[in-house]
Amino acid sequence: MSQTAAHIADDWNKGAIPGMTGPSRGFVAHVLVALTALFGLNWLVVTYVPFEIKMIGSSYLIFFYHFPGAINGALFYLGLFAFSVAYLRTKKPVWDRRARSAAAVGFLANMVLLVTGSTWAKAAWNAWWVWSDPRLMSAAVASLIFLGYLMLQSAVEEPARRRQISAVYGILAFVNIPVVHFSIQWFGQTSHPMKFDAMSAESIVHTRWYAVAAFLVLYSALYRWRYDRTTRNERVEEALNRIRRIEERTHA
C-alpha cells in the first residue's frame, strides 16, 4: 500500500468524535439511550413541572423542546467552527466530514427551535411570526446561513477546494451565534421576552436542563449517523475515482 493510500485508509478509520475509531460502535445502544432519555423528559413534563404558569398558561410546556433546540443548535455550530479551524490547520478530510455532520445536525436543531418557537408564539401571543422581533429574526438568519453551508458542500465538485471554502465559510458563519444570543440586549425587546419570572421554579429549571441533555444524546446519535454515512459515501467516491484513473492509464 502506497503512503498516500495508507494515509487515506487511516483517515477513513477515524470516527465522528476525535479519538474514536470508526465506523461508530455502540450506535444502537446510543439510540436506545436517547429514546429512553426522551421518554424521561416526557414523563417530567407530564408529572413534575406545573401544567400551566401565569400569563401564558399551558402553552409554555413546549419550552422544554424549544430551549434544547437553541442550546444544542449553538453547540453543534460551535462544533462546526472548531472542526473547520482544525481542517484549515491540518488539511485532513476527517475534520471536514465532522464539520459537515455537525452543520447538518445544528441546522436540524435550529429548525426545531424555529418551529416550536413559532407554535408557542401562536398559542401565547396569537402571532406565528413577528418580523420586528430581533431574537426571532436573528435565529432565522442563522438557519439560512447554515443552510448555505450545506448547499455549498453540494455546489463545489473538486473535493479539496470544497473543503477549503466550506471551512472558511463555517468559521465566518459562527459570528451570527453571539448575535442571536445578545439580540434582545443589542436591538431591543418586542414580542420575545427576556425571561419569565414564573419559569424560575426549581422543577422548571431542572427539567429544562435535563431536556438539553436528553436532546444532546439524540442529536449526537444523529451526528454519528451522518458522519458514518458521509464517510461511506466518500470511500465509494474515492474507489470510483481510482477505477477511473486506472482505466485512463490503461487506454492512454
Per-residue pLDDT of the chain (252 residues; tens, 9 = 90+): 444 555 555 677 777 777 666 666 788 899 999 999 999 999 999 999 888 787 677 888 899 999 999 899 999 999 999 999 999 999 999 999 999 999 999 999 999 998 998 888 788 777 777 766 777 777 888 888 888 998 988 888 788 899 999 999 999 888 877 766 665 555 555 555 555 566 778 899 999 999 999 999 999 999 999 999 888 887 777 776 677 667 667 766
- Helix H segments across 48-92? 63-90
Quick check: is 234 in a domain? Answer: yes
Q: State the cell numbers at 77.
A: 455550530
Residue 3's pLDDT is 41
Residue type at position 101 = S
Is residue 28 one of the residues assigned to a domain? no
In a domain, 6, yes or no: no
Q: What pLDDT score was predicted for residue 1?
A: 41
**Is residue 31 in a domain?**
no
At 173 the pLDDT is: 86
How much is the pLDDT for 244?
67
Q: Which residues make Cβ contacts (< 8 Å) with residue 207, sequence separation at least 6? A: 41, 44, 45, 48, 49, 64
**Residue 186: per-residue pLDDT:** 52
pLDDT at site 234: 77
Residue 33: is it exposed, middle or buried by C-beta count within 10 angstroms (0-12/13-18/19+)? middle
In angstroms, the Cα distances linking 12 to 22, 52, 150, 164 are 7, 50, 21, 19
Q: What's the predicted TM-score (pTM) here? A: 0.84
Q: Is 52 helix (H, G, I), strand (E, B) or coil?
A: coil
> Is 30 inside a domain boundary?
no
Q: Rounded distance, CA 197 to CA 150, Å?
A: 38
Integer Cα distance of 216 and 27 in angstroms: 15
Q: Work out how many domains the chain is built from and give that number.
A: 1
Enumerate the β-bridge partners of residue 53. Answer: 57
Residues 6+ apart with CB under 8 A from 224: 15, 16, 17, 24, 27, 30, 101
Question: Domain of 172?
Answer: 62-251
Instruction: Return the bridge partners of 21, or none.
Output: 14
pLDDT of residue 53: 81
Direct distance between the N- and C-terminal alpha carbons of the chain, in angstroms, rounded to an integer: 24
19: in domain:
no
CB-CB contact of 74 with 146 (8 Å): no
Here the cell at position 176 is 451570527
* Nearest residue to 64 (alpha-carbon basis) of 37, 44, 78: 44
Q: Of 47, 42, 33, nearest to 62 (Cα)?
A: 42
16 inside domain: no
